[in-house]
Amino acid sequence: MSTVTTVITSYPPTADLLEARLSVSFTYYLNMLERIPGGLIILRYIRSSYKNDPIRSVLELILFLFAVHYFLSSKRKENKSDLVKFSGREVDELNEEWQPAPIVEPVGPLEHWRLNEYHVKGHSGSHVEIEQKPELGTVVNLSSLDFLDLSGDSRMKAAAMDVISNAGVGSCGPPNFYGTQDVHVRLEEDLTRFLDAENAILYGQDFVVAGSVIPAFLKRGDLAVVDSGVNVALQKALVVSRCDIEWYDHNDMEHLEQILEELDPILSKKKPLKRRFIITEGLFSYSGALLDLPKMVELKNKYKYRLFIDESLSIGTLGDTGRGVCEHFGIPRSEVAITIGSLATTFASSGGFCVGVAPMVQHQRINSYAYVFSASLPPYSSKVASEAIKIITESVDASGKSKLIKSLHQKVAHSYSKLQKKFANSQYFEVVSDGNGPIIHLALKPAFRASLDLPDYYGNTVLLTTGKPSRKLNQFSEEYNLECYILQQIVDNVLGAYRAWINREKIVYEQESLPVQNPRLWFHVNNGVLVAELDAAIGALFDVSNKVCSRLRSPNDLTKLREELMRA
């Protein structure tokens, strides 16, 4: 036992004294321990694991006792002290009195207009018929995410029908229980090859991917540094994962660097190492901005973060052959630790996917909820997506560009410059996206919005400032609703008078945990739409927006608009 007492420390004398005392009694108890059966093993364990440092051992012991105490008592005690004692009759009365709120908020008169959505009659391709407006005949569809117009392609349809006539429609089982078919594996291989990753995994719906992947890797205590312009799927995923969140200004690499720099000394002290991610989107669905990937990669390598990118909108639209932001910037995919994407946009199928290194994907096969607890993608959808990848990559011109993608890029560039020129001296609208993505964003100009007394932003900043989501959902915002309604009038009129169907941003306002920007009009460029049709739609959009907005001269006019809604 002598070893225990001869610890050499550099503590001040009082501490020395204390320690010596402690050591003596500690030794005594350790000696006792030796006598009980199995005590020797424990003794050796204590000795070796704590390197014969008695103070630390005592501390650990106290902690251990505290933990035991906590676990034994906490549950009951906490609840008890918080509970009020009622007699049986009082409980009956309270039950009698209680009046719950309705199960969901009924749709009020101010929101009712949002229920009038257009339905496509037949195939939703680049040119569609609208059920509620049969008098229009065929209209140009500038609202679809099928940017390459593949959903009606005969080869795609043949692929779907081939699988359906061999394997039926549904897979009738989760992937881990006989739900994995050859076509699923083929698609995983195709995606792996297409995106130059190590492995890929498929999901049954694109919206659930983020919410399932993020909580599989980020747990309490882990760190996510997140762009403050991310979509709601990522916001919710982060909240559910319970990790620590730091926000940087939307797409602002300087701010990101500043935050990483500030965090660095704190993190370097933490042992063991916690997982840390930077979470962002390739092409932001809310703002339309393109991620500054080269700078991002430099930063994440410098500070040793893993990079998570939601490429739902960028894969299939950016890069020479549609391989997303990495190809766009000429950066290898291996720099991105986790990439998630959708099969339901340019691949004209359904479902979502995630690609990255093999152990990461393997972990999801057992720990990612939406993969484990849901049926696999219908086999035909897998085949269709594989076919889409084939179609996109097979016709490549001399410069290495996919012909389909090239054509889309030309149409996007054309529309973007046309829109910019057209709206350069508009009083009301401006183009607010950067021209990289196939969805071009337009929003009301700040000066015009100010003249109507519309606020700079909507929603709340609780999550942004505290890192914890607000306890309450966003309240219905009359102004936000009215601003959306103005945009909808433009959409309706462009459609009615010019037979072009554009889209407006649609989010679930109540559920947004981040500040909400002013709503936008979305001009979805579609490869199946002719340049002349794009031009006509842009002209129409300009005329209609002027007409609709010129009626709004003061906040008073908004009040009138509100009354109009109440009356409708």
Q: Which residue has the tokens 């399932």?
A: 212
C-beta separation of 234 from 256 below 8 A: no
43 backbone dihedrals φ, ψ, rounded to 5°: -60, -50
Q: Is 233 a residue that touches other proteins (CB under 8 A)?
A: yes
What is the spatial distance between Cα 237 and Cα 168, in angstroms, rounded to a whole number?
Answer: 33
Instruction: List alpha helices for 395-469, DSSP H.
Output: 403-423, 446-451, 462-466
Q: Which residue lies nearer to ligand PLP by CB, 290 or 354?
A: 354
Encoded one letter per residue, x for contact with other proteins by CB under 8 A and - for no contact, window 371-390 reads: -xxxx-xx-xx--x------
Q: Which residue lies nearer to ligand PLP by CB, 127 or 236?
A: 236
Q: Is 374 a residue that touches ligand PLP (CB under 6 A)?
A: yes
What is the spatial distance between Cα 548 and Cα 486, in angstroms, rounded to a whole number?
Answer: 8
Q: Is 297 a residue that touches ligand PLP (CB under 6 A)?
A: no
Q: Is 284 a residue that touches other proteins (CB under 8 A)?
A: no
**Residue 161 binds which one of other proteins, ligand PLP, none, with CB within 5 to 8 A depending on kind?**
other proteins
Q: Is 471 a residue that touches other proteins (CB under 8 A)?
A: yes
* Residues of this chain, 63-92, that bind other proteins according to CB under 8 A: 82-84, 86, 90-91
Shortest separation between residue 367's beta carbon and ligand PLP, angstroms: 17
The window from 6-14, 235-243, 426-434, 547-555 that contacts other proteins (CB under 8 A) reads 235-243
The window from 32-40, 257-265, 364-372, 537-545 that contacts other proteins (CB under 8 A) reads 364-372
Among 61, 120, 375, 536, binds ligand PLP (CB under 6 A): 375
**Residue 398 binds which one of other proteins, ligand PLP, none, with CB within 5 to 8 A depending on kind?**
none
Q: Which residue lies nearer to ligand PLP by CB, 374 or 477?
A: 374
Report how many residues bind ligand PLP under the rule CB under 6 A.
4
* Residues of this chain, 114-133, that bind other proteins according to CB under 8 A: 114-115, 117-125, 128, 131
Shortest separation between residue 247's beta carbon and other proteins, angstroms: 19
Question: Whose CA is closest to 342, among 316, 369, 373, 379?
Answer: 316
Question: Whose CA is closest to 389, among 156, 144, 152, 126?
Answer: 156
Element (H, E) at 244: strand 244-248
- Say if residue 294 is preceded by a cis peptide, omega within 30 of 0: no
Instruction: List alpha helices for 454-530, DSSP H.
Output: 462-466, 478-498
The window from 271-279, 325-333, 371-379, 461-469 that contacts ligand PLP (CB under 6 A) reads 371-379
Q: Is 167 a residue that touches ligand PLP (CB under 6 A)?
A: no
Shortest separation between residue 503's beta carbon and other proteins, angstroms: 5
What is the spatial distance between Cα 437 and Cα 424, in angstroms, rounded to a whole number?
Answer: 20
Element (H, E) at 179: none
| Strands annotated E in 97-178 | 120-121, 127-130, 138-142
Q: Which residue has the tokens 């005969």?
A: 154
**Residue showing the smallest CB distance to ligand PLP in the complex:** 374
C-beta separation of 253 from 292 below 8 A: yes
Give the neighbor-by-neighbor strand order of the sheet with 223-227.
Answer: 199-203, 352-356, 338-342, 306-310, 276-281, 223-227, 244-248
Question: Given the rule CB under 6 A, which residues bind ligand PLP?
Answer: 204, 373-375
